[in-house]
Amino acid sequence: MQNNIRSVTVAYMEVPCCYGLVHLAHESLKESRKDIPLTIIKLGIKGDVVDTVEVQDVEES
């Protein structure tokens, strides 16, 4: 059985220790060599959305 992942979304808090999850997802997509868009959502410490970034070509970012 094969899964066809269409996209990956990572939400993380703006505190420094949480960015590692974003890095892990980004590097994993690069290593997969598949064209899968990555959406990164930064949350503030009160739960509000601070920033949203959509990366279409992980290899170039």
* H helix or E strand, kind and range, residue 14: none
24 DSSP 8-state letter: H
pLDDT by residue for the chain (61 residues), tens only, comes to: 677 899 999 999 999 888 999 999 999 999 999 899 999 999 999 999 999 999 988 777 6
**Domains of the chain: which residue ranges?**
8-60
DSSP symbol at 58: G
Length of the chain: 61
Kindly report the pTM of this predicted structure: 0.84
